[in-house]
Structure 1
Amino acid sequence: MNQFFKLISALGILVVVFVACSNSDNVIDSSSGDETTNTESVTDYDTSGILSKFEGIGLLYAVNGNTVTFTTQDLPNHKSPYYPSNNDLYEAYNGTNSNYKQNPNRIATQNIVFTITLNPKEALNKRPTPLGPIGISRNGVVFFNQYAGPDQPLTTEIDSFDQYLGHPQATGQYHYHIEPTYLTEQFGEDAFLGLLSDGFPVYGPKENGEIITNDDLDAYHGHTSPTAEFPDGIYHYHITNQDPYINGNGFFGTPGNITN
């Protein structure tokens, strides 16, 4: 009889251990599932709602599935000394740089095409930004990176920026390397200013009333926080008054196609 009770007791202990282990496994699986779901929701971005903010001279866009194709003539919708003197948008330099030296180039109509994802995600392998267009501003002017040439800083070239801090290169391709003050004056220093070709948005030098510095941003010159257009938060770039100005060590996401 004693052996019978001992057998029953042993079986009871085994049942308790089995149930405890089973419950423990269920907790781990549930937690793991929740974490996966939350991670996906945080990075499930949709930028289609900001397309209506793009408006400029010779600027068109078309949505095809989860991508948008911008076609831009790259003509600034503000005055510049780089327009030919017979153009209505010509205006002599009247900025604040006492070292201003106009380069010999003139703004010319371009045909630049960007194909950009509407659902940007962080890239596993980050790519450096190239020379030439790396993104498009909301008025159709292209963004360039922080270099005047291969690994050459903007130190001297900055003196050729017009009163709205843009200028054309040799083929007449007008562009912004640094803050496009025409846009920040018009829309605000915390405003949405455009997209880089990886699909992540670019914002001005302020956030929540504070000036953003490079110390507030990661190596790619961005961070994740809520914005007016994305109240649930999104990774985005900020323009600052320090090198690299718009973008740092490369694209945070996977860049789309650019032809020009």
Structure 2
Amino acid sequence: MKKSLLLLILLWGAILFFTCSNSGNKLDATNRIESTNKTIVPTIYSKIYGATSITTDGTFVTIKTNGQPDHKSIYYGASSDKYEAFSGTTFGGSTFRKNPNKISLTNAFTFKIPLNPTKATRNASTPLGPIGVAINGVPLFNQYAGPNRPLTYEMASFDQYWGHPQATGIYHYHVEPLYLTQTKGKEALMGFLLDGFPVYGPEENGKTVIVLDVFHGHTGKTVDYPNGIYHYHITNSDPYINGNGFYGTAGTVSN
């Protein structure tokens, strides 16, 4: 009787041990599945080839870049293999006038934009400085050279790819990033503004885009968004990239 009771106790203990062990394995497996099922970065962001990293927390997409253009420029130091004397046509058709600044090799930017952008209830103005990021990692600026100061004088200092650096060495585009439209096409994705909405080149469906809203965009289908999305277009007239503020609620940028 005592032996039977002892065997029963041992058998019950073994059952409990294996049950707990298996439960632990299931929990581990579930945790691994949950970790692989967390929100992933949508494929569209892989087009930002100039990023050093792209991550998401399920609410924002965080894009890190060094801000340096991947094309040549007169604004790289003369010892750089990316230095190239100006050649070509200035954006405004005027004589090229180099500004005194050089492209910084030490800048780093963190763009934090909404993963699922929506129209803002109150549209905020775009600030001076970065308002978005181009697919090559270069910051996008608005249509002003300074507070309410148009680009009329400054555009003569754009290099052959229509960008230039400001006083602290931040290279940027105020207008069409010519290198990108030449290599990717004039209908291609050019980048994203801080509100998370995409920016496209000056053409759509084989035609130059003319009719846009006050924010310099419209809603429609694109190759990347076949179900349609609000998106901006870069054009060759003021405001070039963006109009009267962000269409959506802007995220943040730091450097």
Q: Which bracket does the TM-score occupy, shorter chain normalised?
A: 0.7 to 0.9
- Asked if residue 84 in structure 1 is aligned to residue 81 in structure 2, the reply is no
CA distance in 2: counterparts of 1:60 and 1:67, whole angstroms: 14
Which residue, out of 126, 131, 154, partners 2:128?
131
CA distance in 2: counterparts of 1:183 and 1:63, whole angstroms: 25
Shift of 1:47: 8.3
CA distance in 1: counterparts of 2:185 and 2:236, whole angstroms: 16
The residue type equivalent to 1:245 in the other structure is: Y
Shift of 1:258: 1.1
- Secondary structure, counterpart of 2:67 in structure 1: strand
User: What is residue 191 of structure 1 aligned with on the other side?
Assistant: 188
User: What is residue 245 of structure 2 aligned with on the other side?
Assistant: 250
CA distance in 2: counterparts of 1:82 and 1:200, whole angstroms: 30
1:52-100, Cα deviation, whole Å (9 max, x unpaired): 11112x6321122131111111000000000001111100001213510
Shift of 1:257: 1.2
- Asked if residue 101 in structure 1 is aligned to residue 97 in structure 2, the reply is yes
In angstroms, what is the RMSD of aligned CA positions?
1.3
Uncovered stretches (5+) of structure 1, i.e. residues with no partner: 1-45
1:205-227, Cα deviation, whole Å (9 max, x unpaired): 000111012xx100100000100
CA distance in 2: counterparts of 1:104 and 1:197, whole angstroms: 29
Uncovered stretches (5+) of structure 2, i.e. residues with no partner: 1-39
Relative distance call for 1:112 and 1:75 in structure 2 (3 A) is: same
CA distance in 2: counterparts of 1:166 and 1:59, whole angstroms: 21
In the alignment of these two chains, the number of paired residues is: 212
1:138-178, Cα deviation, whole Å (9 max, x unpaired): 00000000000000000010000000000000000000000
TM-score where L is the length of structure 1: 0.79
CA distance in 2: counterparts of 1:95 and 1:64, whole angstroms: 43
Q: For 1:1-260, what aligned pairs fall within 5 Å after superposition?
A: 48-56=42-50, 59-97=52-90, 98-109=94-105, 110-213=107-210, 216-260=211-255
Shift of 1:132: 0.2
Q: CA contact under 8 A between 2:41 and 2:61: conserved in structure 1? A: no
CA distance in 1: counterparts of 2:67 and 2:61, whole angstroms: 17
Q: Which runs of 4+ in 1 moved over 2 A?
A: 46-49
CA distance in 1: counterparts of 2:225 and 2:64, whole angstroms: 25
Relative distance call for 1:134 and 1:47 in structure 2 (3 A) is: farther
The residue type equivalent to 2:104 in the other structure is: A
- Secondary structure, counterpart of 2:150 in structure 1: coil
The residue type equivalent to 2:44 in the other structure is: I
Q: CA contact under 8 A between 2:41 and 2:56: conserved in structure 1? A: no
CA distance in 1: counterparts of 2:180 and 2:232, whole angstroms: 16
The residue type equivalent to 1:54 in the other structure is: I
